[in-house]
Amino acid sequence: MGTKQQITERIGSLLRESKLSVTETRTKILELFMKSSGALEHADFEKLTGKTFDRVTIYRTLQTFLDKGIIHKIPTTDTSVRYALCKSECSEHDHHDHHIHFKCEECGNTICLDETDVPPIHLPKGYAAHTVEVVVSGVCKSCK
Amino acid sequence: MGTKQQITERIGSLLRESKLSVTETRTKILELFMKSSGALEHADFEKLTGKTFDRVTIYRTLQTFLDKGIIHKIPTTDTSVRYALCKSECSEHDHHDHHIHFKCEECGNTICLDETDVPPIHLPKGYAAHTVEVVVSGVCKSCK
DNA sequence: CATAAATTTGCAACAATGTTGCAAATAAAA
DNA sequence: TTTTATTTGCAACATTGTTGCAAATTTATG
């Protein structure tokens, strides 16, 4: 994981690579992503340690990160929106998630299973697939 | 598809089987589900032909149908919630969707691909799967 | 390092979406 | 037909997401 300072430096590079100003909000939000194992939703960012950020700022920051391919959304069956950090293969114009998502029914956490590939889906004739999203619900390692 | 009257009768049976009163709202909403090929969202129900139903009634009706296993939700990456009719295998206490969902990036429609099975997912050790949701985005038959 | 230019933030105001309690209306049971 | 149970619609509210704009912060420039 690295020291606090190393993480801050890594975040700085990430933001500069994406041609974004290095600001307190962006740094804090990325820190939270790196610290937490699972996917985050909007509410998680409002209770950030110390200073609280305006809801609007958080919405805009998350949207910016989505645009730049730094984070991705995870599909849900409710109105909540969950976000997770992208791996290095993702970029602004070529944004793929080749992993599946797992939502634990016990603890409620959603995590990216990076090692588990999305299986090939055989669609009926006439359909062209662009992206495939897989969300598995069940009981996770920790809750078993 | 059958005549209007046959559909109405089928809807009546479906509701009675689920131990629900046969009301105008429920009938109209089920009619809309049966007429439309794809998944529906809340807004689609508000502009129902003729009489308009209260938003609250629609929310409650959809929730009731979910509880009874008449419809199911489809995961999305935004805040919208999409619903589709369940097939006969679904019931109140045993609710599976063994098909995948396809969202067309052209026309915006979401449809259930009933013939396309969900492939088996090989999870890492320690994870127990309960349900698997697959949503494929791309271009559908009609838009190609 | 100081200043100018560009970007980001926070506030206010609004829009859209979802929820709850309760009385009136409707459907089912007697 | 009358009684009982269920459903509906209204009002009021809670939550979530959006837009314009001025103040604050960050980056670029001399």
User: What's B76's DSSP letter?
Assistant: B
- The reply to whether residue A105 touches residue B75, judged by beta carbons under 8 angstroms, is no
Through-space separation of residue A23 CA and nucleotide C5 C1' in angstroms:
17
CA angle B38, B43, B44 (to 5 degrees): 40
Tens digits of residue pLDDT in B128-140: 999 999 999 999 9
Residues 106-125 (A) with a CB less than 8 A from some CB of B: 113, 115-116, 119-124
Please state whether strand C lies within 7 Å of residue A20 at its CB atom. Answer: yes
- Every domain of chain B and the residues it spans: 4-138
Does the pLDDT of residue A94 top 90, yes or no?
Answer: no
In this prediction, residue A89 carries a pLDDT of 54
From residue B63, alpha-carbon distances to A37, A91, B36, B78 in Å are 32, 39, 19, 19
The residue-averaged pLDDT of B35-57 equals 83
Query: What integer best gives the mean pLDDT of chain A?
Result: 89
> What are the phi and psi torsion angles at B10 (to 5°)?
-60, -40
Through-space separation of residue A61 CA and nucleotide D23 C1' in angstroms:
19
Does the pLDDT of residue A23 top 70, yes or no?
Answer: yes
Alpha-carbon distance of A124 to A30, in angstroms, equals 40
Does the pLDDT of residue B102 top 80, yes or no?
Answer: yes
- CATH class of the domain whose range is B4-138: mainly alpha
- The reply to whether residue B75 touches residue A76, judged by beta carbons under 8 angstroms, is yes
Measured between beta carbons, which residues in chain B are less than 8 angstroms from residue A124? Answer: 113, 115-116, 141
Count of residues in chain A: 144
Tens digits of residue pLDDT in A104-139: 999 989 999 988 989 999 999 999 999 999 999 999
Residue A70 structure tokens: 């730094």
Measured between beta carbons, which residues in chain A are less than 8 angstroms from residue B79? Answer: 79-81
